[in-house]
Chains A and B, each alone.
Chain A
Amino acid sequence: MDDPIHQFNIVKYFTLGHIAGREIAFTNSALFMLIAVAGISLLLIGGTRERSLVPGRLQSIAEMSYEFVADMVRSTTGNEGMRFFPFVFSLFMFVLFVNLIGLIPYTFSVTSHIIITATLALMVFFTVIGYGFYKNGVKFLRVFVPSGIPIYILPLVSAIEVMSFLSRPLSHSVRLFANILAGHITLKVFAGFIGLLGAWGFLGWIGAVLPLGMTVALTALELLVAVLQAYVFAILTCIYLHDSLHPGH
């Protein structure tokens, strides 16, 4: 049976250069990120080229994705949160495309590596902190001080709030990474059973119908997960950005 982890191997294509003694290489991960970005650009540039009143197929997809994210940003962070719309839209489209491209056989799913999702989550985390302090100054620290708490219990509650705040990039990144990783491994394992059972001859082939059906069902589930996780990643970004706009007054 093929190694189910093998699909996550990073393969180096060529070296771009060295920064501080570290090799900067162009890998399959970088290649698929570029493909995702090219796909998004094609969709959006191609979709907005015609600008017809009655949208064609591409234009409808572009408009629907815009409206979807814009509604999400507006309903979670309010109208002033729309300044973060380009950020959230880029994150959503990137994660969505990378997830969907990763579902095609023989491709590489970039989000199955925690370094990628952690980078994205930390970017959100530092944006929240930076913009929160820029907009609210020291008042941003009120995020950690819930109102209406007796003074003798406040240090404990604040400590818990700080921990809860710090744990956000972790759960933010692990959720996406774990979903994609687990889904792809499960898919690979079930697909591997087909070949194993098939090696037993005729009865094996009959038995192989079960894992084959499972693989088909799992592929559909993975499609759902890919879209859902992109949505969850984006909406959590919105929820977190909400604080930098309105820390507990």
Chain B
Amino acid sequence: MSDGTRGNRDSRAAEEAALSARLRSLGERLDQVGSRRDTEAGPAPRPGADMSGFARGMRLSAELVGGVAIGFILGWLIDRWLGTSPWGMIVLLLLGFAAGVLNVMRSAGVVKPGPFDGGQGN
């Protein structure tokens, strides 16, 4: 009888020790995972810098085309409303091209991000 209970208690103690050891190792692993996530989130990588080459190419071309197209549309509208043809188109197309090049250089990270792309905190 007494033998049995002691055996029982021994096995329970061993079980608890094993359980706490497992809990500890689990906690360590969780810590590792957590710290890894912290370092990953830490430097806050510039968005779009880690895309695949294909997506990057599509994005850059769309930026350039978008800039030129908005220059064309605005120039056309201004000429239509104010009757300044062709000067509005000429000026705004050039501005739009400049804006498109700026967009491309910004999203490629060649120049520092603009005031509305974040970063630049002065």
Contacts and interface: CB of A to CB of B under 8 A. Distances in A.
Contacts of B65: 171, 174
Interface string B111-122: 000111110111
Interface string A176-196: 001100000000000000000
B116 A170 contact: no
A122 to B, nearest CB: 13
A74 B103 contact: no
A126 to B, nearest CB: 15
A174 B45 CA distance: 25
Contact of B117 (A166, A242, A249): A242
B116 to A, nearest CB: 4
A235 B71 CA distance: 25
A75 B41 contact: yes
B74 interface: yes
Contacts of B52: 228
A243 B116 contact: yes
Interface in A110-151: 142-147
Contacts of A142: 115
Taking residues whose C-beta sits less than 8 angstroms from the other chain, chain A's interface range is: 35 or more
Given A146-B114, A170-B69, A249-B122, A175 B102 contact: no
Taking residues whose C-beta sits less than 8 angstroms from the other chain, chain B's interface range is: 35 or more
A161 B99 CA distance: 7
B94 to A, nearest CB: 10
B114 A161 contact: yes
Given A146-B114, A167-B100, A238-B47, A160 B122 contact: no
Contacts of A232: 48, 51, 55, 59
A74 B100 CA distance: 28
A164 B120 CA distance: 17
A45 interface: no
Contact of B62 (A144, A178, A235, A243): A178
B70 A167 contact: yes
A175 B62 contact: yes
Interface in B55-84: 55, 58-59, 62-63, 65-67, 69-71, 74
Among A142, A166, A178, residue most surrounded by chain B Cβ atoms (within 10 Å):
A166
A71 interface: yes
A174 B47 contact: no
B98 interface: yes
Interface string A227-238: 011001001001
A163 B47 contact: no
A137 B62 CA distance: 31
A160 B92 CA distance: 9
B103 A171 contact: yes
Given A228-B52, A232-B59, A167 B118 contact: no
B122 A164 contact: no
B108 interface: no
A143 B54 CA distance: 30
23 contacts: A75-B47, A143-B115, A144-B115, A159-B95, A161-B99, A161-B102, A161-B114, A163-B70, A163-B92, A164-B67, A164-B103, A166-B70, A167-B69, A170-B70, A172-B66, A175-B58, A178-B62, A228-B54, A232-B55, A235-B48, A243-B117, A248-B114, A248-B116
Interface of A: 71, 74-76, 142-147, 159-161, 163-168, 170-172, 174-175, 178-179, 228-229, 232, 235, 238-239, 242-243, 246-249
